[in-house]
Structure 1
């Protein structure tokens, strides 16, 4: 049996690009210097 978990939140149009980059791990620069980008990809 498979199922999906969904979460609904109100967001502004300006936040959508940032949320997409966060969820898809498309960020190139992170404020946390301990992140190893090779492990993310």
Structure 2
């Protein structure tokens, strides 16, 4: 997941939510998105 661009990560998260994929996978995507947002805000 760390190799994905921000856009790819958002797209993967959106698709996973739409398809009701495994909740652990969605949680991991959500966690990564939050971490990146926090990092971007702190810059």
Q: Same fold (TM over 0.5)?
A: no
Larger RCO, structure (CA 8 Å, separation 6 or more): 2
Question: Which structure has the larger Rg over C-alpha atoms?
Answer: 1
Task: Please indicate the TM-score interval, normalised by the length of the shorter structure.
Answer: 0.3 to 0.5
Q: Which has the higher helix share?
A: 2
* TM-score normalised by length of structure 1: 0.33
* TM-score normalised by length of structure 2: 0.32
